A and B are shown apart, each in its own frame.
Chain A
Amino acid sequence: MKIVALVKHVPDATAERTFDDADHTTDRTGVDGLLSELDEYAIESALTVADGGDAEVVALTMGPSGAADAIKKALQMGADSGVHISDDALHGSDAPATARVLAAALRRIGDVDLVLTGMASTDGGMSVVPAMLAEHLDLAHVGFVGEFSVDDGTVRCRRDGDTASESVEAALPAIVSVTDQINEPRYPSFKGIMAAKKKPVETLSLADLDIDPSTVGLAAATSVVDEVTKRPERTQGEIVTDEGDGGTRLVEYLAAQKFV
């Protein structure tokens, strides 16, 4: 079977992240990029399925040249090959355009049995691309999956909600988005690190996918960021000096903030 894990190269969430002054897109210069941490769970899920049987794992990303690092990390962890969609015209693409491009790439990869994604990207955090992909490809999508198994052309999932967990089945091919509770992603082994360079990575342009560049990118985005305001500096906390009523005042504070 063929499994595609969708991976995204994002600015390091532990560094100071900013928007570009000119077009308000994510500023990718001056901050280290890395594989979105939430996508590591998708890769681990794909590799776990592959470990248990005969499966090929492809890592697919869309992004500028630096995004090749996300593919490399997936290959180091154990994915078999990578596909990188890179085209200057993609700069500033919104979620609908991203989903359209990824759908075209998945069609081109062909014979895909299972698409695995994280629950969100750690930069945009919109969590909508997998569902949009499912619409484009006319596949079932199961989100917030905390556990799944693949057997006999069916994926059986436990979908974790706030108040209940549901058991959901879908016929393959299907798209499954996994949570950060599903597994513990492996570290790349040294053998994996050294082997990754020898694994095939295909780089695709929009022309390769037969997509008109004017339909993607910032100009074609369905939403526009008008302005960006920096989050205010965190203010100093309130200090409660206990004069016999400390407990009461703490509860009053928590109640005022609607914590209790």
Chain B
Amino acid sequence: MTAAQPTAGVSPLDLLGVDHLLGEDERDIQDTVRRFVDDRVRPHLADWYESGLDGGAARELAREAGALGLMGMHLDGYGCAGTNAVSYGLACMELEAGDSGVRSLVSVQGSLAMYAIRTFGSEEQKQRWLPGMAEGSLIGCFGLTEPDFGSNPAGMRTRARRDGDDWVLDGTKMWITNGSIADVAVVWARIEDPADGDGQGAVRGFLVPAGTPGFTAGEVTRKLSLRASVTSELVLDGVRLPADAVLPEVASLRGPLSCLNEARFGITFGALGAARDCLHTAVDYARSREVFDRPLASFQLTQAKLADMTLELQKGFLLAMHLGRLKDAGDVEPRQVSLGKLNNVREALDIARECRTILGASGITLEYPALRHANNLESVLTYEGTSEVHQLVVGQALTGESAFT
């Protein structure tokens, strides 16, 4: 038997012609980010992953991303590009086709820190921080998660109390992307004394500039995932802030949770970028790698893997696009975004692992992206709401029963 003459391979997403779902601006923005990632990100990824992304490189990358318009791109005004949500999703996909850590830098800046200031900040706060953050010269981080409170942010121990006109913050925030390179941290804290306003138990957001006495950020090292991203612990030890440091427009967990919903939306697209990169690599590798004197791609088991992965990638993209169009129409619900994040990250992780098997031993090196992406996606699976939490969100929507506690 002779293997059929190989024809030119079709790119996994081209197979379905999903480009037809995109408008001209959306395609041009996607192409621009893809080129940016190929030129400015991809050549450095192995080094960043091997040695960790240092602060200088992260700042340079942030400035370049800012010049493009990536920072807070779907927000309006204050120097932000003001694109639609689908364009933001596509940009996340291209960034994460490079590396989830690079996408995280942009997600946290735009969807968490900038979105919080844009949505809940005062005019003065927006003027002070957003233009610099949009151009990437200022970096923001977002402190909600604590060492003992991840899926249960309501249990947070970080406290804010009033002292005269000032606020004083005490507590610890953990797993904070961009933390130790940030110029400003959006920190969420609980109000303890009802006399401090908003009632006991209210959760308020505070803008904490880097260098504020009592505020320190230590980098988390020895990571096996998201190595091309800065992860930190924030310590707030009697941090004294002026009265105007509080975000005035929200006084409950609705604030940080709505920010997370923005970031999750981007991840729904982003994770597919990592999967697509793995799949491209696996297809190319299978076509050129010979085993038993035949291309690996000519084996039925390999083709079955590739076909199934392509199917999941395309289903995930259609899901993401649907959510994007809903979001642009202004009526996407958080539980719908949960569906997207749950499915697409889970499938992306499966695809990355499966691609690794096609690459064999080569797949464990930094010469190929599969295991780097798979390791990154392990973090993406649990951050911004774990898969389990998103299952419970969907379960509650279906049954009316809350099973969180």
Instruction: Enumerate chain A interface residues (CB-CB to B < 8 A).
Output: 76, 186-191, 193-194, 197
Contacts and interface: CB of A to CB of B under 8 A. Distances in A.
B28 A188 contact: yes
B352 interface: no
A193 B25 contact: yes
Contact of A187 (B25, B32, B73, B81): B32
Which secondary structure dominates where chain B touches chain A? helix
5 contacts: A190-B81, A193-B25, A194-B25, A194-B83, A197-B25
B87 interface: yes
Nearest to A193: B28
B85 to A, nearest CB: 13
A190 B36 contact: no
A194 B88 CA distance: 13
Contacts of B35: 187
Contacts of B13: none
A77 B32 CA distance: 11
A184 B69 CA distance: 18
B116 to A, nearest CB: 21
Given A190-B32, A190-B81, A193-B25, 19 more contacts: A186-B67, A187-B32, A187-B35, A187-B68, A188-B28, A189-B67, A190-B29, A190-B68, A190-B69, A190-B70, A190-B73, A190-B83, A190-B87, A191-B81, A193-B32, A194-B81, A194-B82, A197-B24, A197-B25
Pick from B29, B70, B73, B87 the residue with the most CB of A within 10 Å.
B29
Nearest to B24: A197
Nearest to A194: B25
Contacts of A194: 25, 81-83
Contacts of B81: 189-191, 194
Given A193-B28, A193-B29, A194-B25, A187 B36 contact: yes
B10 to A, nearest CB: 15
Would you list the 8 A-B pairs with minimal beta carbon distance, nearest first? A190-B69, A190-B81, A189-B69, A193-B28, A191-B81, A187-B32, A190-B83, A188-B32
B28 A76 contact: yes
